[in-house]
């Protein structure tokens, strides 16, 4: 069994000037590595800021763009993986994306947010179509979602069934929806028997006021560590032995009866 130390960076705040987010990543990576972390998780759109308006299209980069290469250099310098959010351009489409860079600076995985939240996002981003994206780090199977995705139990359960042990969820959760990090995320970890690293933005960007409260929720439903409302770096361990013990005691996954759930698929939904 494996123990993986991770750091959740609740920052940087606001819409950063060019280069500021990369400098903040480097500072956070230095602190995380000094604390023994092998993975640094940052918030949704942490590279650019969230409240960009129509400017997001001009800031979008391909998955292997210059910012990805810069993050790779930071990861390799400090010997830890870095997970960050950014607007991804692929042809004419722009996605609200997250990318995982390995400790050697190479790309491990990329994910495009599948559930877009509200008119602000739906007007500017194309929804992703791949529900389960995974990668391996130090013997732990990681899964990627973004923000609103975690509020759909089906999305988290799909990861659990695919073997995800630690689900990375960068987010830009606003007030007054503190119920999500306070209650929904721990319940998702409990009902699908995995760890969830929920890493939020903080402060204000225009009309958006972010809730902070980043946390690591464990499969027993407890929160192992939680940030406050401002910039923060919190560190905790993901223990796969504890996960295996929890899954043996809480048998939700083994006791499922998929034949009863056909109405959850588009083919089985009742006509209206």
pLDDT of residue 135: 98
Question: Above 60 in pLDDT, residue 269?
Answer: no
Mean pLDDT, residues 40-57: 96
pLDDT at 220: 96
pLDDT of residue 272: 38
pLDDT at 12 over 80: yes
- Where residue 271 falls among pLDDT bands split at 50, 70, 90? very low
Q: Kindly report the CATH number that applies to the domain delimited by 3-268.
A: 3.60.110.10
How confident is the prediction for the chain on average, in pLDDT? Answer: 95
193-212: pLDDT as tens digits: 999 999 999 999 999 999 99
Mean pLDDT of 231-254: 97
* pLDDT tens, residue by residue, 54-110: 999 999 999 999 999 999 999 999 999 999 999 999 999 999 999 999 999 999 999
Domain boundaries, given as residue ranges, for the chain: 3-268
| pLDDT of amino acid 250 | 96
Q: Which of 61, 121, 147, 205 is catalytic?
A: 147
SS3 of the chain: CCEEEEEEEECCCCCCCCCHHHHHHHHHHHHHHHCCCCEEECCCCCCCCCCCHHHHHHHCECCCCHHHHHHHHHHHHHCCEEEEEEEEEECCEEEEEEEEECCCCCEEEEEECCCCCHHHHHCCCCCCCCCCEEEEECCEEEEECCHHHHHCHHHHHHHHHCCCCEEEEECCCECCCCHHHHHHHHHHHHHHCCEEEEECCEEEECCEEEECCCEEECCCCCEEEECCCCCEEEEEEEEHHHHHHHHHHCCHHHHCCHHHCHHHCHHHCCCC
User: Which residue among the candidates 88, 113, 151, 165 is catalytic per the annotation?
Assistant: 113
Does the annotation mark 44 as catalytic? yes
Q: Using a pLDDT cut of 90, give the percent of the chain over it.
A: 92
23-43 pLDDT, tens digit per residue, is: 999 999 999 999 999 999 999
């Amino acid at each position: 069994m494996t123990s993986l130390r991770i750091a959740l960076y609740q920052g940087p705040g606001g819409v950063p000037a060019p280069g500021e987010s990369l400098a903040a990543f480097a500072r956070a990576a230095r602190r995380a590595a000094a604390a023994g972390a092998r993975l640094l998780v940052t918030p949704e759109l942490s590279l650019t800021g969230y409240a960009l308006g129509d400017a997001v299209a001009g800031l979008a980069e391909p998955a292997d763009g210059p910012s990805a290469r810069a993050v790779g250099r930071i990861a390799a310098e400090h010997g830890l993986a870095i997970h960050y959010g950014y607007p991804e351009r692929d042809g004419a489409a722009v996605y609200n994306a997250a990318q995982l860079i390995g400790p050697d600076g190479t790309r491990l995985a990329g994910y495009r947010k599948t559930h877009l939240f509200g008119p602000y996002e739906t007007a500017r981003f194309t929804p992703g179509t791949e529900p389960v994206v995974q990668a391996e780090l130090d013997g732990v199977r990681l899964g990627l979602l973004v923000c609103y995705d975690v509020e759909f139990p089906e999305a988290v359960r799909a990861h659990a069934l695919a073997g995800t042990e630690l689900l990375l969820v960068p987010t830009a959760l606003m007030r007054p929806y503190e119920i999500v990090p306070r209650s929904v995320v721990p319940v998702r970890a409990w009902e699908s028997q995995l760890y969830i690293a929920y890493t939020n933005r903080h402060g204000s960007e225009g009309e958006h006021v972010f809730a902070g409260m980043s946390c690591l929720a464990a499969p027993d439903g407890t929160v192992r560590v939680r940030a406050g409302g401002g910039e923060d770096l919190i560190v905790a361990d993901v223990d796969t032995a504890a996960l295996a013990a929890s899954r043996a005691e809480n048998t939700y996954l083994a006791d499922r009866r998929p034949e009863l759930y056909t109405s959850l698929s588009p083919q089985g939904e009742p006509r209206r």
